[in-house]
Structure 1
Amino acid sequence: MHYLVIFASIIDWLFILTLGFYLIVNLQWYNYSLYRVFTKHHRWTWHIYFFFLPLLLFIGTMLSHSAIILMFFTGIFLLVHLPFFILWYLKLDKKLHFTKRVYGFFVILFIFLALHQISFFVFKNVWLFSFAFIFVLPFAILVSSLYEKILFNRYHKLAKFKLKNLKHLQIIAVTGSFGKTSIKNFLQQILSSKFNVYATPRSVNTIKGIVSDINQNLQKEIEIYIAEAGARQRGDIAEIATLLQHQYAIIAEVGEQHLEYFKNTQNILETKFELLKSKQLKKALIYEQNPLPPSLSQEVKNHLAFYPTNLRNIESTLDKTSFEIQINGEYFAFETKILGMFNIANLSAAILMAYELGVEIEKIQMIVSKIEGTPHRLQKITAGGKIILDDSFNGNLKGMLEAIRLSSLHSGRKVIITPGLVESTQEQNIQLAKAIDSTFDLVIITGELNSKILSQYISRPQKIVLKDKTQLENILLTSTYKGDLLLFANDAPNFI
């Protein structure tokens, strides 16, 4: 009997740890928001198979106090659930990143499991033991969240204090639905010719990410800090603006990106324009087609300028992009290896802001001619005799349509690999599908999210639908040839 109790305890621990592992993986994907995990997840069947169904079986087993049912549950868990769970995790292309927060969660979970086990030997009440075990995971999540909130508040104060003491520091905040990361990267390269510049790395754009970046990476000798600001709900960017108190702002094109979070475009617009809530704002560049929110005060409007106005002689091919932009009444020519018509607007924002901060036009022209593109954003690569357009980090309709337009300029065979548009409307996916249908010879649809709607409106080219991307490499090896153009459009992880 003693050995049976130990065996049952091991199974219980293993089961709760499995649920905890599944939950923390999903929380990390969705920025540690339980609300988003359970309301915005695109693979709800995973929640059913790996969380709710096993949890219900576990609760029923614990409350039954039946040895037969317990043995049945143990068999199901060890022979079915656990192997399938391990296989599921191994096939993920976005696995758990073991951060301090993740380690902290498991430490807290272990503590609660240990306390619960000790309570059984103290009270020797099987019913109480079974009932309380159900709450171990929720308590661990609650305590972990409270602990992280306390830590964040402390780090937030440290970041605010650090910025306040960097008297010489100029801050540029960048937001928008499309193009903000590219603008940030272009601007950093241009300004670095004259100033000591630091920008938020990769796609760090949340309040937590920016707070961490300031505390860990912003050095006292930095003259200009460029921060990217993103949002999933109203107030997110206002929180960032309150922290940064930036002198300069860029609001790139605002559109229907993340519509499922904001419900309508007006909410998106109002949220992006929260970036202007800095008390130290001197100037803000606004994408010219963005409507201004009616709530904007005249005082704020006095700081606004618009881009990209007065462009001419625009050319965008598979080899280069060139244009002329008017600055102070005079036109200046720019040529770059950066691809895409939409990047003219992004470059214009960077050029105008750099000029505002004192970088000479001749120097800007030279840097733009050599400027490096943002990885995975319409990045041209030649490999194995094939032209690859890596646009895997671009998830908006306008950008994808431009990538398709550029692909159409290729005289040879054309292949697209895409899951369609994520966090967008059905109408936009239909528009995308029609553009794909008229351009490509082979369409590889990855993931299940948009496979039906894309398949319905793509009829001319050959189609291959991959439910998961583990077979993608083999498909590309057998289905593409020298001289082909391959467009990777909006890569999405398996959980999409």
Structure 2
Amino acid sequence: MIFLFLIPYLFWQLKQILFWLYFWQLKEYHLGRIRAHFQTLQGKKLIFDKEKILKIIFLLFFRISFSLSFFLLFLFYCGEVIFVILKRKIKFPLWTKKTIFLFFSFLLFQGIVFYYLYSIKNFYLILLWDILLPFFFSLFVLFFQPLSFAWRIFYLEKAKRKIQKTKGLIVVAIIGSYGKTTTKEFLFKILSQKFNVLKTPEHQNSETAISRTILKDLKEDHQVFIAEIGAYNKGQIGYLSKIINPSIGIICGVNEQHLATFGSMKNLLSGEGGGELIDFLSKKNGVLFLNGNNSYCQKIFQEEKSLLKVITFVAFPEKEIPSIDFDFLAKNIKIEKERIQFDLETKKEKMTLRVNLAGPHHLENLMLAIAVSRYCFQMSLEEIKKALEKITLKDSSFRFLRTKKGFFILDSTYSANPQSVLSHLNYLSSFEGRKFFIFPSLIELGEKAKEIHERIGTEMGKRCDFVILTSRDFFKELKEQALKSGLKKEKIFLIEDPKKIFEKIKTILKTNDVILLEGRLSPLLVSLLENYGNENC
């Protein structure tokens, strides 16, 4: 019986280890991001879920009736394993040198601990180990963080030396709270028509990803390196600037998205708000490009006098043009579902441009890419126009899907921030059918979280016909503001299970309806909707 108990128990342990390794990797081993996640209801469920509560009850019953408790616990573990196998609920990390090391090291450590507990036949401690496994695994990860940090610094310094040896290389650093990846992809697509360009991989903006790209992919004949830089702490961007040595900087936009990890707005503005990059560029006579549609960028343009600045602006129909002498201006914007047309104006030139993109929010990123290409790399507007013809929906992290059943899916599930959520809600107005909005909530917003969710609630009340919220976090704020904006109570749902969301939406979905999927939603939900939309009609 004891041997039979070990089979489901050890399988469950393996599943747990894989999940927590996946979780730490997802949060980039950053304590601030981990802490912010556990402040949400979803995060608290990871620690205080029903399964752990039942196991704690079993712990208490061990004192009363060991045999009965042991048998029931065996059945419980068997049930957990069967459920995991049938539902395929095993999360795997992306296998890297670090995750492989942590995985096998912890397996070895756990094997030693388990061998000792089994040898003394203390099933009370064996169960307690399972309950506290997330805590023990997290301590194990933190124990190796100094070694990981030293290893990371070693590779960054090695990357720095390679950058210095690559003669004539122009480095572009892209930072900000949002829009970094899309701006990078647009700039890469335009510059690649004329130059040999290297960029950091899509959605990879960590110190490790940047150093790996330089060491693995940078060649002597590369002319341009575009680095997307992410940050969660003050000082990160300043340090990385010294590593990659940029002469061109782009601030895509600044908001409160990572306020919780930076600790204060002052620290955030120093980091992804551009303070550290400005200090670096000022010392080497660099050029800074700013998104004029962002109030923080406007403030930098007006107040910062230490370096050369170029500012862009997209004159959306509902917005007034501020009294700023913009260097690159987009006007007369015509928005279709899958295409945008606009007039580009510089201080000396004008041209009508078209691009195959879904949503006006992409224009801010596109204008920054155009400005850099024209101002720093002297590409003509005609060359830029030809490059824009090669940009497709795949070059942005926002997916537009037209299904065979006639409804549309707007997939922005990779990541979300306040600016993108509000922009995507506004984009829904381009569609004739009913608007569905499926949204969890935003995290890492710190003290601004309540205010931002109220703002999102107001907009979803104005723009949407049906709203499905998938998390209890800020549900009250979102619902209250949506109701004030005119959305009826019976059109707002709280459903956490992706399959139940799909079953609900399937009963009311019609041709020409549009579904906006925003934030970290389950891949299962996205897959169910895509498969349903494209199955044989």
Structure 1 length as normaliser, TM-score? 0.82
What does residue range 426-465 of structure 1 map to in structure 2 within 5 Å?
426-459=450-483, 460-461=487-488, 462-465=491-494
Give the residue type in structure 2 aligned to 1:405: N
Alpha carbons of structure 1 residues 117 and 452: separation in structure 2 relative to 1, 3 Å: closer
- Answering whether residue 246 of structure 2 is matched by residue 215 of structure 1, we say no
Structure 1 residue 372, shift from structure 2 partner: 1.9
Number of the residue aligned with 1:410: 431
Distance in 2 between the 1:147 and 1:9 partners? 34
**Partner of residue 96 from structure 2, selected from 96, 99, 120:** 99
**SS of equivalent residue, structure 2 residue 332:** strand
**SS of equivalent residue, structure 2 residue 48:** helix
Distance in 2 between the 1:130 and 1:418 partners? 41
Give the residue type in structure 2 aligned to 1:447: S
**SS of equivalent residue, structure 1 residue 358:** coil
- Answering whether residue 76 of structure 2 is matched by residue 80 of structure 1, we say yes
**SS of equivalent residue, structure 1 residue 438:** helix
Structure 1 residue 287, shift from structure 2 partner: 2.4
Distance in 1 between the 2:6 and 2:235 partners? 45
Contact 1:400-1:489 within 8 A present in 2 as well? yes
Number of the residue aligned with 2:176: 176
Contact 2:469-2:494 within 8 A present in 1 as well? yes
Contact 2:166-2:220 within 8 A present in 1 as well? yes
Contact 2:171-2:227 within 8 A present in 1 as well? yes
Which stretch of structure 1 is more off in the superposition, 89-98 or 414-423? 89-98
Alpha carbons of structure 1 residues 15 and 392: separation in structure 2 relative to 1, 3 Å: closer
Number of the residue aligned with 2:495: 466
Contact 1:170-1:246 within 8 A present in 2 as well? yes
Alpha carbons of structure 1 residues 114 and 440: separation in structure 2 relative to 1, 3 Å: closer
Structure 1 residue 102, shift from structure 2 partner: 2.4
Alpha carbons of structure 1 residues 362 and 293: separation in structure 2 relative to 1, 3 Å: closer
What does residue range 94-493 of structure 1 map to in structure 2 within 5 Å?
95-116=92-113, 137=137, 140-272=140-272, 273=274, 274-276=276-278, 277=280, 280=284, 282-288=286-292, 289=295, 290=297, 301-308=306-313, 309=326, 311=329, 313-319=331-337, 320-355=339-374, 356-374=376-394, 377-384=397-404, 385-393=406-414, 395-424=416-445, 425-459=449-483, 460-461=487-488, 462-493=491-522
What does residue range 11-22 of structure 1 map to in structure 2 within 5 Å?
20-22=17-19
Alpha carbons of structure 1 residues 85 and 213: separation in structure 2 relative to 1, 3 Å: farther
Alpha carbons of structure 1 residues 82 and 156: separation in structure 2 relative to 1, 3 Å: farther
Distance in 1 between the 2:82 and 2:220 partners? 46
Give the residue type in structure 1 aligned to 2:515: L
Contact 1:396-1:421 within 8 A present in 2 as well? yes
Alpha carbons of structure 1 residues 465 and 312: separation in structure 2 relative to 1, 3 Å: same
Structure 2 length as normaliser, TM-score? 0.76
Distance in 1 between the 2:471 and 2:396 partners? 19
**SS of equivalent residue, structure 2 residue 289:** strand
Alpha carbons of structure 1 residues 15 and 413: separation in structure 2 relative to 1, 3 Å: closer
Alpha carbons of structure 1 residues 39 and 473: separation in structure 2 relative to 1, 3 Å: closer
Alpha carbons of structure 1 residues 324 and 137: separation in structure 2 relative to 1, 3 Å: closer
Alpha carbons of structure 1 residues 111 and 370: separation in structure 2 relative to 1, 3 Å: closer
Identity %: 21
Structure 1 residue 189, shift from structure 2 partner: 0.4
**SS of equivalent residue, structure 1 residue 467:** coil
Structure 1 stretches of 5 or more lacking a match? none
Distance in 2 between the 1:361 and 1:313 partners? 16
Contact 2:356-2:391 within 8 A present in 1 as well? yes
Distance in 1 between the 2:266 and 2:51 partners? 36
Structure 1 residue 54, shift from structure 2 partner: 8.4
Structure 1 residue 217, shift from structure 2 partner: 3.1
Q: RMSD of the alignment, in Å? A: 3.9
